[in-house]
Amino acid sequence: MQIGMVGLGRMGGNMAERLRRGGHEVVGYDRDPAISDVTSLKDLVERLQAPRAIWVMVPAGKPTQATVDELGQLLSEGDTVVDGGNSHYVDDQKHAAELAQKGIRFVDCGVSGGVWGLENGYALMCGGDRDDVERLMPIFQTLKPEGEDGFVHAGDVGAGHFAKMVHNGIEYGMMQAFAEGWELLEASDVVKDVRGSFKSWRTGTVIRSWLLDLMVRAMDDDEHLDQLRGYAQDSGEGRWTVQAAVDHAVPLPVITAALYARFASRQDDSPAMKVVAALRNQFGGHAITSTEGSTGKGADSPGADVTPPRESDR
């Protein structure tokens, strides 16, 4: 099958290569002329035979919107745009409605697989009209891992990215659980082989998983993770998952806590804990630590000009 690929970065480039290995004709466009097959989106469209299929693999938000807008001006009735990036599902519905006015079809596809997808395949979660998805099945079958699983037509437009969003939210929670378990093991006086403990869990336990395999791999390279700083960004999908939970009144305590833990990791000092320290000092006379690192007097220390709190206020 012939397909255009817009965005040839780490994911898009490897996906294009996997498709070529599977016998498909891929015409790729990227802003970097060194890796692009054509010089513009217009050239890309002209290289493809109608009805065209173009897979968009660019960052979510404005880059995706700009690409969809331009393709909407270049494509013809019956052509199909696939958004395989990490777009918000509500944006999919907007893009589908805009393109539908010109008779252009739209499919959203959440993609998971990262840098390992070229060899192992990509898990695909699609949303859109059944006929549009069926037309693209040769592409999906080549990109997905071998075997029965790894692909789902999750529902209407937006369903693919909604499923991928929840997948990433679950991933946040799982990673946070591994992280907290690792920290507790490292803090223990009795456990001498933390890496070995994690490695032993890879077989026969209920928490064996690819994430656990990757955790062991990371410790193989840096046993105590001494070379890393505890600073973690978030891709945005964790935030969307929590917001969707609010919109649907669904409690997500684990995923929400994992997202907030990432926020905390990016603070050199916690503004909120300054308030907690100040209040503990005020009502309980507890010692405080200054910005210079010295420990100050509590509110009930000698010389403190404050009425000692009652026991019921502590």
143 — phi, psi (to 5°)?
A: -75, -35
Both structure tokens of 124: 């695909």
In 3D, which of 242, 279, 247 has the Cα closest to residue 258? 242
User: 3-state SS of 89-153?
Assistant: HHHHHHHHHHHHCCCCEEEEEEEECHHHHHHHCCEEEEECCHHHHHHCHHHHHHHCCCCCCCEEE
Cβ atoms of 133 and 107 within 8 Å: the answer is yes
What own/partner pairs with CB < 8 Å and gap ≥ 24 does 309-312 have? 309/283, 309/284, 309/285
Residue that the structure tokens 């917001």 belong to:
243
Give me the active site residues, please. Answer: 164, 171
CA distance 312 to 289: 25
